[in-house]
Amino acid sequence: MSFTTPESLKARGLEILRILCVDKAFDKMPGVLDPNVEAYHDDEAALVGRDNFISHFQHLLTAVPTFSYQIYDSVAELDKGGKGGRVWIFSRLLGLPKGIQKDTVDMFDIDGEGRLVRMKDVQRLVAQ
| Band (2; pLDDT cuts 50, 70, 90) | confident
Q: What pLDDT score was predicted for residue 22?
A: 87
User: pLDDT tens-digit profile of 44-95?
Assistant: 899 999 999 999 999 999 999 999 999 999 999 999 888 899 999 999 999 9
Domain segments of the chain as ranges: 6-127
- What torsion do the CA atoms of 53, 105, 122, 97 make, to the nearest 10 degrees? -70
Task: Give the strand order in the sheet containing 116-127.
Answer: 47-48, 33-41, 116-127, 101-110, 85-94, 68-78
80-102: b (≥16 Cβ within 10 Å) or e: eeebbbbbbbebebeebeeeeeb
CATH code assigned to 6-127: 3.10.450.50
Q: What pLDDT score was predicted for residue 66?
A: 93
Determine the average pLDDT of the residues in 32-42.
96
Between strands 101-110 and 85-94, the pairing is antiparallel
Q: What pLDDT score was predicted for residue 55?
A: 95
Q: State pTM to two decimals.
A: 0.91
